Structure 1
Amino acid sequence: MKKSICIEKIFLEHDFYDRFAKVAEAGFQYVEFGYWPGRDIDRIKAECDKHGLTVTTFSADFKASLIVPKDRAAFLDYLAQSIEVAKTLGCQNLVIHSQAMDDTGAFTSDGSDLDEPVKLYSAALTAQDAARMAEQAGVTLVLEAVNNISKPGYYMTSCRYTGNLCKVVGSPNLKILYDIWHMQQMEGNMVANLRKYADVLGYIHVGDCPERHEPGTGEINFDKIKHVVCDELGLDIVWGFELDPEISSADCVQKLAAF
Structure 2
Amino acid sequence: MPRFAANLSMLYPQHDFLARFGAAASDGFEAVEYLFPYDFTAAEIKLRLENFGLTQALFNAPPGDWANGERGIASLPGRESEFRSGFQKALEYAAVLGNDRIHVMAGLLPNEELRQKHHAVYLENLSHAAYEAAKVGITVLIEPINTRDMPGFFLNRQDQGQAVCKEVGAGNLKVQFDFYHCQIVEGDVTSKLRRDFAGIGHIQIAGVPDRHEPNMGEVNYPWLFEEIDRLGYTGWVGCEYRPKGDTSEGLQWLRDWKARNPG
TM norm. shorter chain > 0.5 = yes
Following superposition, the deviation at residue 67 of structure 1 comes to: 1.5
Aligned-partner Cα distance in 2 for 1:150–1:215: 17
Partner deviation per Cα, 1:52-83 (whole Å, 9 max, x = no partner): 00111111131161222312221121001101
Partner deviation per Cα, 1:206-228 (whole Å, 9 max, x = no partner): 10100111112100011232232
Following superposition, the deviation at residue 254 of structure 1 comes to: 3.9
Following superposition, the deviation at residue 255 of structure 1 comes to: 2.5
- How many residues are matched? 248
SS at match of 1:69: coil
Change (3 A) 1:182 1:37: same
Does the alignment pair 1:182 with 2:181?
Answer: yes
Following superposition, the deviation at residue 258 of structure 1 comes to: 4.0
Q: State the TM-score, normalizing by the size of structure 2.
A: 0.89
Residue of structure 1 equivalent to 2:237: 239
Matched to 1:189, the amino acid is: D
SS at match of 2:79: helix
Q: State the TM-score, normalizing by the size of structure 1.
A: 0.90
SS at match of 1:126: helix
Does the alignment pair 1:250 with 2:248?
Answer: yes
Aligned-partner Cα distance in 1 for 2:251–2:133: 32
Matched to 1:38, the amino acid is: D
Residue of structure 2 equivalent to 1:15: 16
Residues 38-53 of structure 1: pairs in structure 2 closer than 5 A: 38-53=39-54
Residue of structure 1 equivalent to 2:142: 143
Residue of structure 1 equivalent to 2:261: none
Q: Percent identity, aligned pairs only?
A: 25
Aligned-partner Cα distance in 2 for 1:210–1:156: 20
Residue of structure 2 equivalent to 1:155: 154
Change (3 A) 1:128 1:121: same
Selected match of 2:79 from 71, 80, 83 = 71
Following superposition, the deviation at residue 190 of structure 1 comes to: 0.8
Following superposition, the deviation at residue 177 of structure 1 comes to: 0.9
Aligned-partner Cα distance in 2 for 1:154–1:223: 30
Contact 1:31-1:54 within 8 A present in 2 as well: yes
Contact 1:6-1:242 within 8 A present in 2 as well: yes
Contact 1:207-1:214 within 8 A present in 2 as well: yes
Contact 2:36-2:59 within 8 A present in 1 as well: yes
Aligned-partner Cα distance in 2 for 1:56–1:258: 23
Aligned-partner Cα distance in 1 for 2:75–2:58: 22
Partner deviation per Cα, 1:25-44 (whole Å, 9 max, x = no partner): 11111011211221232121
Gaps of 5+ in 2: 65-71, 258-263
Aligned-partner Cα distance in 2 for 1:179–1:124: 22
